[in-house]
Amino acid sequence: MNGVMDRTRVGARIALLALLWGSTFLWIEVALEALAPVQVTFARCLLGSVTLLAVCLGSGRRLPRGRPVWGRVVLAAFFCNALPFALFSFGQQSIDSGIAGVLNATTPLWSVLMGAVTGSERGPRPSRVAGLLIGFAGVVLISAPWQATGAGGRGALAVVGAACSYAVGFLIMGRLVGRGIPTISLSAAQLLAATALTAPTLAAGGLAPVDITPGQLVAVAILGVVATGVTFHLTYRNIAAEGATSTATVGYLLPVVSVALGVVVLHEDFSPRIALGMVVVLAGVALTRLSPRAPAPAPDPDPTAPPAPDPTAAPRPNTFPPQPACPNPRRPNAGRPKPGPAPEERDVRP
């Protein structure tokens, strides 16, 4: 029962993570209408870090200590936050939010490849490999790279680079969990480091005056607080529960969310090719989530049966005296001397 409950919790966390993470591209698209890419990147890191720091302090948790831990936190913040956030903001200037979410779904493939290279993913199951390949085929079908040209091609390449950067960041984050540090402390520290890393980029076109509408301001707030802060903490929780590679497979659910939101909210294009690609992606996700079949339990031993002999035990010495050989029951006189002829009777009469 506990195993079923644990799988249910993990499944619910993955579904919520996919929903929140998939909506990120919608909020980026809206935020880019008023802010420069570097401003969007810095704003989401700042708001996300403030949100997690408030939760961390409110729950009595403290930020991690030690130079080695902070060194890895900063490295993870670069590859999982600062760099991919900037690449997404740049890429979505020329491609739709739905396509950005689809291209981000290549993260699991990069994660498995890097896990195999670094040795952190040992012997991936055939079902997982097949699921990753099928999911990648669905991503290619949706994105249609043969149709991308000019700025759209550069934008798609930037988003794929962000997905690859995510995979590197997940591997580093996987090394941080299991050290006795609460995930809320790690996620708050990492977004704080990402804020410090992205602040200098504001000098590259991020200091211009901002003209933003209330709707766009709400989109920026949701992007930073929910789609970055809450989502990032859920990501850390899932890495601690299932590992970096399994967490990366959540990326295959993002196309469904990002494409649906793009079509419904932003009126982006939707075609049968995209619908078929989404079905293929979901099939790949189903394969990656298959659990290996547990071996059949051994039957209970019969309590009335004598114990099996231990082959490693030393033989017991023979404490009984030697017994004579048992005669052959069919030949009872075998082995015995034959009696001689009876002596002749003598006449002893006088």
Q: How far apart are CA 274 and CA 279, in angstroms?
A: 9
Other CB atoms within a 10 A radius of the CB of residue 100 amount to 28
Q: Looking at residue 47, what is its pLDDT?
A: 96
Question: Per-residue confidence at 37, pLDDT binned at 50, 70, 90?
Answer: very high
Percent of the chain with pLDDT over 90: 28
> Cβ(31)–Cβ(223) under 8 Å?
yes
184's tokens: 């809320």
Q: pLDDT by residue (tens digit) across 284-331?
A: 777 766 765 555 555 555 555 566 565 555 555 555 555 555 555 555
Question: Per-residue confidence at 350, pLDDT binned at 50, 70, 90?
Answer: very low
Q: What's the chain's length in residues? A: 350
**DSSP for 62-131?**
----SHHHHHHHHHHHIIIIIHHHHHHHHHTTTS-HHHHHHHHTTHHHHHHHHHHHHTSS-S--HHHHHH
Percent of the chain with pLDDT over 70: 71
Please measure the distance between the N-terminal and C-terminal CA atoms of the chain and give it in whole angstroms: 112
Q: At what angle do helices 126-143 and 97-104 cross, to 10 degrees?
A: 160
Query: Please, where are the H alpha helices in the chain?
Result: 2-31, 37-58, 67-77, 83-91, 97-104, 107-118, 126-143, 150-176, 183-198, 214-224, 231-242, 244-248, 254-265, 272-288
In terms of Cα–Cα distance, which of 152, 142, 105 is closest to 285? Answer: 105
- Is the confidence at residue 22, as pLDDT, over 80? yes
Mean pLDDT, rounded, of the chain: 79
Q: How far apart are CA 223 and CA 203, in angstroms?
A: 22
Whole-Å CA distances, 35 to 29, 47, 50, 258 = 10, 15, 20, 21
- Is the confidence at residue 337, as pLDDT, over 70? no
Q: How far apart are CA 35 and CA 26, in angstroms?
A: 14
Q: Looking at residue 119, what is its pLDDT?
A: 67
Q: What is the DSSP letter of 310?
A: -
The reply to whether the predicted model has a pTM over 0.75 is no
Mean pLDDT lowest for which of 21-35, 140-154, 307-321?
307-321
Question: Per-residue confidence at 207, pLDDT binned at 50, 70, 90?
Answer: confident
Average pLDDT for 246-253? 67
15's tokens: 């579904």
- Is the confidence at residue 60, as pLDDT, over 60? yes
Q: How far apart are CA 42 and CA 199, in angstroms?
A: 6
The torsion angle over the Cα atoms of residues 221, 223, 227 and 228, rounded to 10 degrees, is -90
Q: Looking at residue 210, what is its pLDDT?
A: 85
Give the torsion sign (CA, 205, 210, 212, 217): positive
Q: What is the DSSP letter of 249?
A: G
- Is the confidence at residue 128, as pLDDT, over 70? yes
Residues near 26 by beta carbon (within 8 Å), at least 6 away in sequence: 97, 258, 261, 262, 265, 266
